Amino acid sequence: MLRQLGAFSICRWSTHLNHRSSNISEPRINERIRVPEVRLVGPAGEQVGIVRIEDALRLAAESDLDLVEVAPQAKPPVCKLMDFGKYKYEAAVKAREARKNQTNTVLKEIRFRLKIDTHDYETKRGHALRFLGAGDKVKAMIQFRGREQQRPEMGIRLLQRFADDVAEVGVVESSPRIDGRNMVMVVGPLKNKAEAKAEARRATKPRPAAGWTSAATSPP
């Protein structure tokens, strides 16, 4: 019983905190603006000037708009006449679109041996083409063994060949360099992740059948 009461109290406290944080993040509107005067901006961005809060609220009511405090730190605070519900909706839509288009480029690693056979090379090249086409970076790494460390020019030639083979979707961002017993090179995508996703969606979008199109466009 005590555990249930404790969990209930924590839940109520968490809900209370979430409610408070959401209120804090929103600007003050209408009667919640408790200052004697404000610098008023009209709905189209026009400067009205410094007016008493009572007059600003009256103008908002006459225009069927809200009085929204947009710069509370100013002296006096700056308020704007707007449809606050519409403003919140448009802001939420923009935030949702920004999250949808937000992309995090991933660094994919592909390892080579200096004496790599053709089949293994083509497999790794295929992986790189897929990664770069999806908007991710590729870190190509050659692992030297024993005396191979004395032949860095062979590693440079292999990485140059790799860069040429993926040039259709990627460009070298970091030239070959020695890192301990390895040689590394970074290739970046020609298209960012958002562009790659948009192109993939267009490619998978179903197209109307040719017969239906010709029938729909043919004259009666």
Residue boundaries of the structural domains of the chain: 27-84, 107-198
pTM, two decimal places: 0.47
Decide which of 21 and 102 is more confident.
Answer: 102
From CA 67, how far away is CA 79, in angstroms rounded? Answer: 6
Given CATH 1.10.3720.10, say whether it is the number of domain 27-84. Answer: no
Query: How many helices (DSSP H) and strands (DSSP E) are in the chain?
Result: 7, 8
Domain 107-198 CATH superfamily: Translation initiation factor 3 (IF-3), C-terminal domain (3.30.110.10)
**For 39-55, what is the mean pLDDT?**
92
pLDDT of 77: 92
Residue 81 CB coordination number (10 Å): 22
Do 142 and 158 contact (CB within 8 A), yes or no? yes
Report percent pLDDT > 70 for the chain. Answer: 77
Decide which of 110 and 7 is more confident.
Answer: 110
**For 207-216, what is the mean pLDDT?**
50
Task: Could you list the beta-strand ranges (E) of the chain.
Answer: 37-41, 47-52, 66-71, 78-82, 107-113, 137-143, 170-179, 182-189
> Which tens digit of pLDDT belongs to each residue from 75-101?
899 999 999 999 888 888 888 876 765
**For 98-107, what is the mean pLDDT?**
69
